[in-house]
Amino acid sequence: MTDPDIPKFSKLEKVPLRDYFRNEARNFTPWLEENLHELGDVLELNLELIGREAPVGGLSLDLLAKDMDSSKTVIIENQLEKADHKHLGQLLAYAAGYDAKIVVWISDEFRDEYKQVLEWLNQETHSEMHFFAVVVEIWRIDHSNPALNFELVVSPNHWKKSIPPREETETRSKYRNFFQKLIDELREDHQFTRAKTAQPDNWYYFPSGYTGFYYYVWFRKGTQVTVYVGIYEGDNYLERLDRLALFDSLENEKDAITEDFGGIFEWERNAEMKESRILFARDGHVDWDTDDMDAIHKWCVEHLLKLKKVFDPKIRQALKEVEDR
């Protein structure tokens, strides 16, 4: 007889990754793109996607991202088989190509020699560089639905997510509260971002989905709030494409953009700086009363959504024009 007081357990079974992700580029990388927060939770990073299949010479990086809390560039290389020399070489090429500060290698299995390489890099490179190895596995109990698991097997010594502490004044707290409410609505109601955590700064940026292009909200000089398109030259892709040529291509569409958006922009080419800007502004200050701040919040949501709708096709067109030259 079976003793009812003795518990009965099911068997935990590991399932081959290929049972669910037949093709790394077509299946796993898009899944990870949509579930980047799960990897971020393991790494203790607030990851925001910049682009998929980001070019580096003749190679393509699986995912290019940023840690939204530190603004550090993150590269993510996926591999559904055991780690190998080819992917290690590619990983280092991508890190150099994007001047990445956080390097993540995902694989089905890491032999000791590859763990040792990443551990050595964590010890020998400067303190701003961080290398991670993450094992990806799928598990199932009996005939249950599968569960995907990330296991961190290499991380920097004494790794702890840390942003240098800064005094949070009353004004900085107001910025944090404003942007937290803004990103929460944009994420939950409009799927505009996957960001979750605001910082106590007077600006916040959202990747456009096109490398080097960002959508911003910025409290400028304490008297205005702006939404703007930023074209940032620090991204490796734009170093090859020419930021100013992309700006000029967009400015050639100035009349159509103005009509589609329904407002007049400030066009800042900024030849001597690393960022060109296309700004739309209104009066606004973070110290305004609650009703006025609610109005600014609604204005930012409305105009960020409109900014993306108007500029996304124009950015695609500008990239194609400059790439074809």
Going from the N-terminus, what domains does the chain have, and what CATH number goes with each? Answer: 12-154 (3.40.1350.10), 170-324 (3.30.1460)
What is the predicted pLDDT for the residue at 211? 75
Q: Write out residues in the chain with pLDDT < 50, as ranges.
A: 1, 162-163, 165, 235-237
Cβ–Cβ < 8 Å for 267, 205: no
**Virtual CA dihedral for 233, 216, 39, 25, nearest 10 degrees?**
-60
Cβ neighbour number for residue 2 with a 10 Å cutoff:
6
Q: Which residues make Cβ contacts (< 8 Å) with residue 69, sequence separation at least 6?
A: 45, 46, 161, 163, 197, 199
Query: Coil, strand, or helix at residue 200?
Result: coil
**Virtual CA dihedral for 271, 277, 283, 289, nearest 10 degrees?**
-120
Strand (E) positions, 24-173? 47-56, 59-67, 72-78, 102-107, 130-141, 147-154
What is the predicted pLDDT for the residue at 37? 85
Cβ neighbour number for residue 17 with a 10 Å cutoff:
20
What is the predicted pLDDT for the residue at 41? 86
What is the predicted pLDDT for the residue at 10? 77
Q: Would you say the C-alpha torsion 269, 273, 274, 280 has a positive or negative sign?
A: negative
What is the predicted pLDDT for the residue at 316? 94
Q: Which residues make Cβ contacts (< 8 Å) with residue 120, sequence separation at least 6?
A: none
